[in-house]
Each structure stands twice: as structure tokens, then as C-alpha cells.
Amino acid sequence: MECGIVGLPGAGKTTLFNALTGSSIDALPGATKPNIGVAHIPDPRLGVIASFIPTKKIINATIQFVDIPGVPVGSEPSKLNSFLSHVRKVDATCLVIRCFDDGTPPDSAGDIDKMETELILADMVVAESAMDKAKRTARTGDAEGKARVAVLEKVIETLDNGQPIRAVTDWSDTDRGILKSYGMITAKPVLYVANIGEDDIAGDCQAAEKVKAHAQAVGSEAVALCAKLEAELAELDDTDRNEMLESMGLSEPAIGPMARAVYALLGLASFYTAGEKEVRAWTIRAGSTAPEAAGSVHSDIQRGFIRAECYNIADLEQHKTEKAIREAGKYRSEGKNYRMQDGDVVHFLFNV
């Protein structure tokens, strides 16, 4: 899964990218290539499992982030699309909004409007170009061509009204497949990130409140964090990081809630495997079947799937050991039609 980090120049995208991925990349004015890195999703449940099942290694789930160069407002459509070509490939976007004072008071509402207007215009260019080809194909009687015309007409009408494509909620699965083939940016789910100053760790400033209000108005989510501080925390060892967090009255870096918000935004869930060698979190689409979850561990396990023996972390907290969970009748044996629950701890049985 990939999440693109977008925003206006100077919003703090690369700083946030560094905080998420533990990188130390400098933001270069005029950069045209994205930075790509992997973020480990902070997950307290891994520690809970390991406290009951001693293990040699703990492995977090991950998400890949793509730091897109700052979108130049007012660019020619062709130049704008070259900047945004990378974000068309991602599954979701994080829109970073400057909410700190860098000598110029922040205008978070105005920046959101500018950024979303640019993205709408970029999608309009793609939609209008694609419409010509779709109409030519539809004239031959091609069913797919006709379906593409219908989707693009709806897209163009929505964009022409100044609305992102995600504002339309009645797309069919076929429609969504067509949209995905074009990489429409405003069709992707978006998380608004209010990048606050070090003097406003709680994110109570007016600029951040406007970001939160906008996200709520459009049915999305928002998080407030100080990317500069989070990047500094990411460079510390565990002891120093915990001391710094404690001094600020925080239980964890703000990157944790943000990463989990992205996780939720993408419609993902976690299940776990646990043993002497490792305790590990695995990423799946929410509602995935047991064989599909097995495939995320290894394709052979999915191919030779027999059953999944599982229990929930809450069962482990209550009964302390897997043996006690069995004795309490909470150790479940699930077949191919079982849909995984977030927080399942699983042992897959397979034969190949």
C-alpha cells in the first residue's frame, strides 16, 4: 500500500516524510523527483502479545510513503501533471497544510482551497483528454467504451462544479475500476495533516482548527502534529525518545495516530502471528478471508490452506497463555469462508 504526501511548497512535506520513515532527506527547492520510503506502523498490540508470548523479534506492519515535490500553484497543466504523475499511482493522499508561523502567518483555509483547486484542475485535464478516446471507442459499439464515457461525463460534471471526485458516493465497482485506471487524484481518500509549530503541540491554534473543520465538513479525517518535532523524535533512541515525550506530557509520538489514521483511511486491518522467533503484524484489507490473509504471509500457505486457528488479543490478555485460551474454549478453528477480524492472532495450517 502506498500513500502520497502532497502539499504546497514549504508546507513541511519532506520533514513529515523524514519523521514517518526515519529518513534524513533535505527538502530541495525545485525538486521534481519524489522521495520513497517505508514507515513502520506503531502498534501497542505487538508489545501486549510479546508480553505473554516471549519472542526474539517484533516486526511492525508497514506502509510505503511517497513524498511528492511541492505542487507549484498556477503552473501550466502539462507541468502540473508532471509533478503529480507520481501521486496518481498511490492508494491515498496525505494533504499537508502549513499551520505554523514561519514569518508569514498561516492561511490554512486558503492553502487547502489552493491545493484542492490545483488537484481538481489536474484531474480535469486527464478526464477531458480521456473523453476523446472513450467517445471514439464508444462509437464502435464497444461496451467498455460506453461505460468509460458515462463515468467521464460524471467526473467532468463534478470537477466543473469545483468538487473532488470523492464527493460522489454512488460509484459502482465497475465505475471505481475505471476511475482507478485513470489514476484520478481527487478520487483517492485524503487525510488532512495540520503541520503545527513547536509552541502548539496540542494543535489548538486557529489554523489547525480550520483544517479539522474542513476535514469534518467533507467527511474525511485530520490529524495535527509538528513535523519538525516528530522528525527530531525519530532520530532519538528509545530511551531518549521516551524521556522527551514524558517531558512534553505525551504517551507516544503523533506519528503513531497519523500512521494508524492512514491505515484506517486505506481500509486496512491487522492480524498477528506469534511465536518464539517473532511476533509480527500483517496488513490486510478489512474483511479479507482467512486464505487471503494467509497469502499475505506466503502464497504457498494460501494455496495449501486448510484452516486458521485463532483468538483475539483480548483473549490473550484475559487468559495469559494459548493453552489457557484453548481450555476456556476461546481458541477458534476457522475455515476458508472466515473473514478476519482486526486483532486476530493466527496459526495457519496448510499443506502443499
The superfamily CATH assigns to domain 287-350 is Beta-grasp domain (3.10.20.30)
The winner for highest mean pLDDT among 32-46, 76-90, 207-221, 238-252 is: 207-221
Task: Measure the N-to-C terminal CA separation of the chain; round to a whole number of Å.
Answer: 28
Q: Quickly state the pLDDT bin for 259 (edges 50, 70, 90).
A: confident
Burial of 170 per CB tally in 10 Å (0-12, 13-18, 19+): exposed
Residues facing 204 on adjacent strands = none
Helix H or strand E encompassing 66: strand 62-67
Over residues 233-251, mean pLDDT: 84
Q: How far is CA 273 from CA 42, 187, 207, 294, 340, in A?
A: 16, 34, 42, 10, 13
**pLDDT reading at 95 higher than 90:** yes
Query: pLDDT, tens digit, for every residue of 107-122?
Result: 999 999 999 998 898 8
* CA dihedral angle for residue 331, residue 333, residue 339, residue 345, rounded to 10 degrees: 40
28-37, 148-157, 307-316, 340-349: the lowest-pLDDT one: 28-37
Provide the pLDDT for residue 82: 63
User: Nearest-CA neighbor of 162 among 124, 188, 125?
Assistant: 124
**pLDDT reading at 70 higher than 70:** no
Given a contact cutoff of 8 angstroms between Cβ atoms, the answer to whether 223 and 3 are in contact is: no
Over residues 301-318, mean pLDDT: 95
What is the crossing angle of helices 13-21 and 227-234, to 10°?
A: 30
Quote the CA–CA distance of 244 and 236 in Å, as a whole number.
Answer: 9
Residue 38 dihedral angles phi and psi, to the nearest 5°: -110, 135
Q: Quickly state the pLDDT bin for 72 (edges 50, 70, 90).
A: low
**pLDDT reading at 352 higher than 70:** yes
Q: Is the pTM of this model over 0.75?
A: yes
